[in-house]
A and B are shown apart, each in its own frame.
Chain A
Amino acid sequence: GQQLNQSPQSMFIQEGEDVSMNCTSSSIFNTWLWYKQEPGEGPVLLIALYKAGELTSNGRLTAQFGITRKDSFLNISASIPSDVGIYFCAGRVSQFYFGTGTSLTVIP
């Protein structure tokens, strides 16, 4: 199956810093989703985007559906230790395709 290019692969940041990660594809998608996975758990949906150019926030998280429909980014502001985990993007046309994940470590 197709995979999306997600970057960076891993991040080590100080508590309080802002985080930015993105996802790109050669294909156009109708939906972009961002998930977070904590150790031993399944991925949990954070934000869903349905329209090109859409900017959506969920607390300290902000995500955008790229205007070309081929990319999306996720920002986390003022990171805290519980933000630790692996973040996955997903794009959908007829089915979902997932990014390779960004592993986030927050240093207190």
Chain B
Amino acid sequence: GAGVSQSPSNKVTEKGKDVELRCDPISGHTALYWYRQRLGQGLEFLIYFQGNSAPDKSGLPSDRFSAERTGESVSTLTIQRTQQEDSAVYLCASAWGNTEAFFGQGTRLTVV
């Protein structure tokens, strides 16, 4: 596709359930970022993938959070045993080399 695609756009889940969020980056983009944005807040860095290098996981808030990316393709962010404080918009962005990062529309996660 022409842009970064995220799915689902909205997700409501029960506390304690696992969720998986998907990001399809722009084709050819080697870098992929995940951010969390709580209501009315800024962008909270979660994880960064660059090509086949080891990802920078320094932003993951707990071991309930994990993300995978195979090569330069799709990435999935998994949240296990969801808590109400996990409710937020999860944004994905991709970039190529030293050029601009482009964002998807985000997945709005609501934990009830």
Residues of A within 8 A of B (CB): 1, 3, 30-31, 33, 35, 41-45, 48, 50, 88, 90, 92, 94-101
The tally of residues in B whose CB lies under 8 Å from a CB in A reads 24
Contacts of B48 in A (CB 8 A): 1, 95
Q: Give min CB distance, A32 to chain B, whole Å.
A: 11
Closest B residue to A30 using CB positions: B98
Find B103's partner among A3, A31, A42, A50 (CB 8 Å cutoff).
A42
Q: A interface, by DSSP: helix, strand, loop or mixed?
A: strand
B76-112 interface code vs A (CB 8 A; 1 in, 0 out): 0000000000000001010100111111111000000
- Interface residue? B65 (CB, 8 A): no
Measured in the bound complex, the distance between the Cα atoms of B58 and A48 in whole Å is: 26
Closest A residue to B105 using CB positions: A42
Q: Which of B58, B93, B100 has most chain A Cβ within 10 Å? A: B100
Measured in the bound complex, the distance between the Cα atoms of B35 and A43 in whole Å is: 11
Q: Give min CB distance, A90 to chain B, whole Å.
A: 7
Q: B interface, by DSSP: helix, strand, loop or mixed?
A: strand
Closest A residue to B53 using CB positions: A94
Closest A residue to B106 using CB positions: A42
Q: Give min CB distance, A46 to chain B, whole Å.
A: 10
- Interface residue? B56 (CB, 8 A): yes
CB of B98 within 8 A of CB of A92, answer yes
* A33-B100 contact, Cβ under 8 Å, with A1-B59, A42-B91, A43-B91: yes
* A98-B42 contact, Cβ under 8 Å, with A1-B59, A41-B105, A44-B103: yes
Given contacts A35-B103, A92-B101, A98-B45, 11 further A-B contacts (CB under 8 A): A1-B56, A31-B98, A42-B4, A42-B103, A42-B106, A45-B102, A48-B100, A95-B48, A96-B95, A98-B35, A101-B42
